[in-house]
Amino acid sequence: MRILVVEDDSGVRATVVRMLEFLGHGATAVASGEEAGDLPEGGAFDAILADLRLPGMPGHEVVGRMRRRWPRLKAVIMSGDVDGEELRAGAAAGRWRILTKPFDLEQLAAALGACCA
């Protein structure tokens, strides 16, 4: 799979990319929703992993914006705080999966498998 990672913490971003590559996926990483929006139109992604709390716009808004470009984009929202009503409602409606931080390789693989199967 080709996965877009949107994470403002550079250490977390690099770790997630390494984990995805270890799992056999291709990853493109950016630090914000604005950077994600600046990506070229040509390369479609299969999935997006977006941090919930990003500068400028929250992860669920980034997912919506990216889905306007790539309507079949699968999504996982990463967050240490999964109690938000909008976050849970989106997961219940099937708009995204929630991946609670911190997570390990197995949890990442399970979240991707569940959202992208």
- 104 or 82, which is more confident: 104
For the chain, which residues make up each domain, given as ranges? 2-112
Output the CA torsion sign for 73, 76, 81, 84: positive
For the cut 90, the answer to whether the pLDDT of residue 88 exceeds it is: no
**What is the fold of 2-112?**
Rossmann fold (3.40.50)
End-to-end CA distance of the chain: 11
pLDDT at 87: 83
Listed residue (9, 1, 4) closest to 67, CA to CA: 4
Are the beta carbons of 59 and 50 closer than 8 angstroms?
Answer: yes
Q: What is the pLDDT of residue 59?
A: 94
Backbone conformation region of residue 32, classed left if phi is above 0, alpha if psi is from -120 to 50, else beta: beta
Interval 35-74: pLDDT, tens = 999 998 777 899 999 999 999 999 999 999 999 999 999 9
* pLDDT > 80? residue 84: no
